[in-house]
């Protein structure tokens, strides 16, 4: 009797495997070039206004994604049984005629930088400040605070020089705070990388200043201390002595302080009262099929925001920055993957997330990571997508491959599906520090292994020319199919992904590390 039962089971196993393969094939078939293009045209339409955080267009985008999640039968994972999760931001508007920095050289040359376009203030902008001295601080590889003698920098404006062309230096804010703590009236960090300046919106027309959290007390009084970021090409425009001093500072390998006596800096920041606003994430959950493993989750994420009308090439005739690749491509990818996974539910549950505020500082993903709809320790992986619709036909970069065994899993899945014509490669731009520049990082710091899929930067990055006609929807559909196969592998595996020990120590924040 037992043998007969085993024989029946042996006969049924191939039948079950065949049915599963047919289900997977049907699910993959829903990820099409036509659907990618159709969805891109919806969320990157001018009516979405460029999806700035916060904005009416961003809310419309979130509502559209939420509607798709509802249509697909996903469980709401947002606030109070809804698909939308909201977090608070505040907005203040500078007076454009009364918010500026003016540098005057000893020879009388003047340069005015507009607050919000050429200079961005982190923290509180001074209402009025003037000083007669500048110092240039060369940070070298990292700032040595022991060399910041207070008598060298007290009551001066400090230009803190890092080489941004090698990527975003770690500890920038801490370094600027250290300079202010030594008595500097203010600190400006000249940004000499177009990519970094573009990422932060320097040199672009700006609307209200948006900050995370509820409204706070606005400007400091006269003499208030500040630190900020300056677009270097504008900072040195017509000021050869200052340009030479900054160029010299970039050659330094250790921290040095150079005085530039005889300069005058006038800084005026006139800001309106801060107003509160709410920004959206969208969250939908697909329950897994396994009675035990469904209590664990794989996150599939992308950011749905862009920069509104503040990007390169904006004109009165074409002022909306549609953000088709950045990151309309990832947003429609999340929706397309949700549709496929609904047809082929894996053992673990899947959380589909589109966040906002990425362009402001990874705000939405940070909020979601701190306020997930499930326990953080139950999330086994994040598969993040940002800019997957351009560049090479046959390649996608998976950043983070070297930090966990997700990299090996992705390589194996790629080999198993040569028909997709996609090769996964390691980070091609390590100097850009992309690992720390998209939403997956907020999952990684919580101890969740990640892979970040991207096709990389291009001349239309943060430009009004990032338009629907330039997206490669056919290529994106193949990348999404690959991510689907990878998600199935991770969500059906008996064990959860694991970190490489050294990467875990380096990346996961101390408070989230498990001994």
The per-residue pLDDT for 423 is 95
Instruction: Supply the mean pLDDT for the chain.
Output: 87
The per-residue pLDDT for 222 is 37
DSSP reduced 3-state for 296:
coil
Place of tokens 């690959």: 482
Place of tokens 């070039």: 33
Cα dist from 261 to 71, 188, 232, whole Å: 66, 17, 20
The per-residue pLDDT for 152 is 86
* pLDDT of 207 over the 60 cut: yes
- What is the pTM (predicted TM-score) of this model? 0.77
The per-residue pLDDT for 194 is 73
Q: Measure the CA–CA gap between 377 and 389, rounded to whole angstroms.
A: 32
| 478-491 tens-digit pLDDT | 999 999 999 999 99
More confident residue, 14 or 468: 468
The per-residue pLDDT for 8 is 55
Cα dist from 120 to 76, 276, 394, whole Å: 37, 20, 39
* pLDDT of 140 over the 50 cut: yes
* pLDDT of 433 over the 80 cut: no
327, 378 in Cβ contact below 8 A?
no
DSSP result, 102-167 = EEE-TT--EEEEEBTTTEEEES--BSSEEEEEEEEEE-TTS--GGG--HHHHTTSEEEEE--GGG-
The per-residue pLDDT for 223 is 44
Burial call 318-348: b when 16+ CB within 10 Å, e when fewer? ebbbbbbbbbbbbbbbbbbbbbbbbebbbbb
Q: Find the mean pLDDT for residues 152-164.
A: 87
DSSP reduced 3-state for 279:
strand
The per-residue pLDDT for 224 is 55
| 348-362 tens-digit pLDDT | 999 999 999 999 889
| 95-137 tens-digit pLDDT | 766 778 888 999 999 998 877 678 877 655 556 677 778 889 8
* pLDDT of 64 over the 80 cut: yes
Cα 77 to chain centroid distance, Å, stands at 22
Q: How many residues does the chain have?
A: 515
| 239-263 tens-digit pLDDT | 999 999 999 998 888 888 999 988 8
More confident residue, 23 or 120: 23
| Domains with residue ranges and CATH for the chain | 27-91+276-512 (3.40.630.10), 100-268 (3.50.30.30)
% of the chain residues with pLDDT over 90: 54
- In 127-269, DSSP assigns E strands to 129-138, 157-161, 186-191, 209-212, 226-231, 256-268
More confident residue, 189 or 207: 189
Work out the pLDDT band at 442, boundaries 50, 70, 90. very high
More confident residue, 222 or 12: 12
Q: Measure the CA–CA gap between 491 and 288, rounded to whole angstroms.
A: 8
The per-residue pLDDT for 226 is 74
Window from 221-225, 335-339, 385-389 with minimum mean pLDDT: 221-225
Place of tokens 């020990």: 501
| 295-345 tens-digit pLDDT | 999 999 999 999 898 777 767 677 799 999 999 999 999 999 999 999 999
* pLDDT of 164 over the 60 cut: yes
């Amino acid at each position: 009797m037992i043998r007969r039962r085993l024989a029946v089971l042996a006969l049924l196993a191939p039948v079950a495997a065949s049915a599963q393969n047919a289900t997977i094939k049907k699910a993959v078939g829903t990820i099409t070039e036509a659907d990618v293009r159709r969805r891109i045209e919806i969320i990157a339409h001018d009516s979405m206004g460029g999806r700035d955080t916060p904005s009416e267009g961003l809310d419309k985008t979130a509502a559209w994604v939420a509607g798709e999640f509802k249509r697909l039968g996903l469980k709401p994972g947002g606030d109070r049984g809804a698909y939308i999760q909201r977090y608070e931001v505040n907005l203040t508007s500078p007076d454009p005629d009364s918010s500026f920095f003016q540098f005057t050289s000893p020879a009388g040359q003047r340069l005015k930088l507009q607050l919000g376009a050429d200079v961005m203030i982190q923290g509180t902008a001074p209402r009025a400040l003037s000083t007669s001295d500048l110092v240039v601080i060369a940070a070298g590889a990292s700032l040595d605070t022991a060399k910041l003698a207070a008598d060298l920098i007290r009551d001066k404006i400090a230009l803190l020089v890092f080489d941004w062309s090698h990527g975003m230096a770690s500890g920038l804010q801490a370094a600027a705070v250290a300079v202010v703590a030594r008595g500097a009236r203010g600190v400006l960090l000249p940004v000499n990388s177009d990519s970094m300046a573009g990422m932060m919106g320097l040199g672009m027309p700006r609307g209200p200043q948006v900050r995370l959290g509820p409204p706070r007390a606005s400007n400091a009084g006269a003499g208030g201390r500040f630190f900020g970021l300056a677009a270097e090409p504008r900072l040195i425009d017509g000021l050869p002595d200052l340009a030479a001093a900054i160029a010299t500072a970039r050659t330094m390998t250790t921290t040095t302080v150079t005085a530039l006596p005889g300069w005058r800096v006038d800084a005026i920041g006139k800001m309106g009262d801060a107003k509160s606003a709410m920004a959206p994430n969208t969250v939908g959950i697909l329950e897994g099929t396994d009675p035990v493993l469904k209590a664990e989750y794989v996150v599939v994420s992308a950011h749905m925001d862009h920069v509104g009308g503040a990007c390169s090439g904006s004109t009165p005739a074409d002022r909306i920055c549609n953000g088709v690749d950045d990151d309309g491509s990832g947003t429609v990818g999340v929706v397309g993957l949700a549709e496929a996974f609904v047809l082929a539910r894996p053992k673990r549950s899947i959380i589909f997330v589109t966040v906002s505020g990425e362009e402001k500082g990874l705000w939405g993903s940070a909020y979601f990571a701190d306020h997930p709809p499930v326990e953080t320790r139950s999330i086994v992986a994040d598969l993040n997508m940002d800019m997957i619709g351009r560049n090479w036909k046959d390649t996608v970069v998976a950043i983070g491959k070297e930090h966990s065994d997700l990299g090996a899993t992705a390589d194996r899945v790629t080999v198993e599906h040569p028909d997709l014509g996609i090769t996964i490669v390691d980070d091609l731009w390590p100097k850009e520090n992309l690992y720390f520049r998209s939403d997956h990082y907020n999952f990684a710091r919580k101890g969740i292994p990640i892979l970040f899929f991207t096709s990389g930067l291009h001349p239309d990055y943060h430009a009004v020319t990032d338009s629907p006609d330039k997206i490669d929807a056919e290529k994106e559909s193949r990348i999404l199919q690959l991510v689907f196969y990878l998600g199935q592998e991770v969500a059906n595996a008996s064990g959860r992904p694991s970190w490489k020990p050294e990467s875990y120590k380096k990346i996961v924040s101390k408070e989230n590390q498990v001994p």
